[in-house]
Structure 1
Amino acid sequence: MLSRSSLHLLIALSYRPSRLRQSGSGFTLLEILIVSVGLGILAALAFPSYMGAVDKAHYAEAKSQMGCLARELQGFRLENGHFPDDVNRNIRPVGINCFYTQASGQVPFDSRYDYDVSPGANCYVQIVFLGKNNEKEAPHAGTRRYPQAGLYDYSEVSSGADDLVYSLGVNPFDLPC
């Protein structure tokens, strides 16, 4: 905050007698300072909202990509009688084209996807988007955290987590995984 004496000094420096003015269309130093401070305050208020909207757009893109991958995995299973084998993070499963890797530059936040398969009785498949922090907080498929098919936000379960989980559900029919 400006002290009273500093404010008086700024006002005195910005005051120009009319006889020294070439034209009456210029701005005083005080006017420029007030506008600059006002713009700074508006920018400080608007920036977090803007970044929140950008993050929401990135997560919406990840949800769209996960939906594409889930549909392709289900199609693969219908054609081949089983899901592709489990692979490490950021590696495309064999026979799947809709799996974006970090190197493609198309994954939001330059993050990664993880395709998990838990074979055996009651096969369970999930796709995990590692989120903005690019770390996996969601449990491995072996835990069968989400037995119902659908898209889940793991941040609702664990504070600080930002993973999205697309579960294809638990297979109750003992079909091969």
Structure 2
Amino acid sequence: MRALRVKLQGFTLIELLIAIAVVGILAAIAIPSYESYMTRSKLKGAQADLAALGLVMENFYQKQLRYPTTTTSNTADTRCVAASGSTTCTASGWQPSQDGFTYKIVTATTSTYKLEALGTSGKVNGCSITLTQDNVRAIASCSSYNGSWQ
């Protein structure tokens, strides 16, 4: 009688469990790292938007020899003030590059201003990023990202 040799193909249960464990360990390392990267990216985007808004304010100052004196409480109003120096929106002079933040002109006099980006969603919810006419920059209420920004 001939011995029949049957060649089995596939994975054993142990091999599958090892592969699942390796994928789990990699995911446990990669997911928090990715979330941190995305949070830093959102903060940098908001900082760039504030810097651009500050440039619009400085441009207004160069033309009028004063800053707009209107304060705002939301991004749409801020766009109008940045465009025309008043609450009458004549043209869009500034547009934020991302969602997730509300941009405000917190204080405004003819010689000073303070701009703020306030996080509204996800890990940046409640983060306050500020910029003044003297280029004083700060981040507050934002877990491990508090302090100044470059």
Moved over 3 A (4+): 19-22, 135-139, 159-166
2: CA distance between counterparts of 1:22 and 1:107? 61
**Identity across matched positions, percent:** 22
The match for 1:152 among 118, 138, 150 is 138
Aligned to 1:128: 116
Unaligned runs of 5+ in 1: 1-18, 101-105, 167-177
TM-score (norm 1): 0.59
1:98 is aligned with what amino acid?
A: W
Question: Could you tell me how far 1:47 is from its partner in structure 2?
Answer: 0.8
Q: 1:79 to 1:67 in 2, by over 3 A?
A: same
TM-score (norm 2): 0.68
- The structure with more radius of gyration: 1
Q: 1:36 to 1:160 in 2, by over 3 A?
A: closer
Q: 1:154 to 1:136 in 2, by over 3 A?
A: closer
Alpha-carbon RMSD across the aligned residues, in angstroms, is 3.4
Would you say the 8 A contact 1:152–1:164 is kept in 2? yes
Question: Could you tell me how far 1:161 is from its partner in structure 2?
Answer: 8.9
Q: 1:98 to 1:128 in 2, by over 3 A?
A: same
The match for 2:98 among 104, 107, 110 is 107
Unaligned runs of 5+ in 2: 84-92
How many residues are aligned here? 131
In the TM superposition, 1:57-136 aligns within 5 A as: 57-84=41-68, 85-90=70-75, 91=77, 92-96=79-83, 97-100=93-96, 106-108=97-99, 110-119=100-109, 123-131=111-119, 132-133=124-125, 135=126
The answer to whether 1:48 aligns with 2:48 is no
2: CA distance between counterparts of 1:71 and 1:162? 24
